Amino acid sequence: MGGRHLSKPFLSVYGHVSIDQIMAVDKFPDLNTTVDALSKTTLLGGTGANIATVAATLGVPTAICALVGSDFPAEFEREMEASGLMMDEFVRVGGYDASSAIVVNDGKFDQVVYFFQGPQGFATEIGIELIGMARKSEHVHFCTGEPRYYIGIMEKLQGGPSIGFDPAQEIHRIWDRDTFSEALGLSDVFFCNTVEMATAERYLGHPMPVPGKTTVCTLGARGSVAWHNGERHEIPVIEGNGVVDATGAGDAFRAGYYAGLYRGYGFRDSLIIASTVSSFIVEKVGALSNVPDWDSVMERADGLLGRE
């Protein structure tokens, strides 16, 4: 486990902490053919690590709740600690290789990912319950990882913190109709993109959003849309200094949302802050290569806040 902290987290994040290999190609190859990679970068990644590290860098007291392989690089652990993350429930598990992803982006910013689960995908089998930090938090965010393990923790947190449910790309293959509906019913906020929303609607048998459930859907270059307390909010993309790599933009959006809430902003303003944080991330390759500080976010969001 990482360093101990006496302070209470505002946010606890459950999700993968991974080794990301990010490659760029001009176009994806046809089956049984090869194309040359234009670049290759190895970085700290994983939805859990991305959301938690960005949130901590923005000044949010944040705990990471994750099982990692025994071979997880020490330099990546130090990178997470340097952000100010609470690492009390960052646990290395012997006998498991670290979670890893090969991320390939083409010239149109489309993406293909090959993912190795690591111990986070087998949390029930491993049998280590990470719940102490979540019980002390105001918000708990569940992203990628084993569904039944997360549902069990969600059940124990009922009546406590606000629960965000964010299965991301795993909604299509690891979650199913039953587990998705169960987790959604235990959560307060559902996060998705348009492709993930389509799968959610198929599982539920009716269009999103669910009445009475806050839903946030990112739309890529078209910004985001959200439903909260019966109102629909459209949030534009915040312009930065160009788009180089979209890896981690959605994770940064979520971290920015929680940073807005932590600083006392309302729902819509927190989404504008979320979009602003994403605008920094896409300016460089990698989900954590261009994480802004809070002052930089406020400078870029100047004039857009306070319209709720």
Output the pLDDT for position 84: 96
Backbone angles phi, psi at 50, to 5 degrees: -65, -50
Chain centroid to CA 280: 16
Q: What is the dihedral of CA 172, 114, 154, 186, to 10 degrees?
A: -20
> Exposed/middle/buried for 210, CB within 10 Å: 0-12, 13-18, 19+?
middle
Output the pLDDT for position 280: 94
Output the pLDDT for position 234: 95
Output the pLDDT for position 290: 86
Output the pLDDT for position 288: 81
Question: What CATH architecture is 11-30+37-127+138-299?
Answer: 3-Layer(aba) Sandwich (3.40)
The amino acid that residue 302 corresponds to is: D
Tens-of-pLDDT digits for all 308 residues of the chain?
444 454 799 999 999 999 989 899 999 999 999 999 999 989 899 999 999 999 999 999 999 999 999 999 999 999 999 999 999 999 999 999 999 999 898 998 788 889 999 999 999 999 999 999 999 999 999 999 999 999 999 999 999 999 999 999 999 999 999 999 999 999 999 999 999 999 999 999 999 998 889 999 999 889 999 999 999 999 999 988 888 877 789 999 999 999 999 999 999 999 999 999 999 988 887 778 889 999 999 999 988 897 55
Domain ranges of the chain: 11-30+37-127+138-299
Q: Which helix (H) or strand (E) holds 116?
A: strand 111-116
- Return d(Cα 232, Cα 40) in angstroms, integer: 40
SS3 string of 161-225? CEEEECCHHHHHCCCCHHHHHHHHHHCCEEEEEHHHHHHHHHHHCCCCCCCCCEEEEECHHHCEE
Q: Which residue has the tokens 């406590």?
A: 160
Closest Cα partner for 268 from 210, 209, 213, 227?
Answer: 227
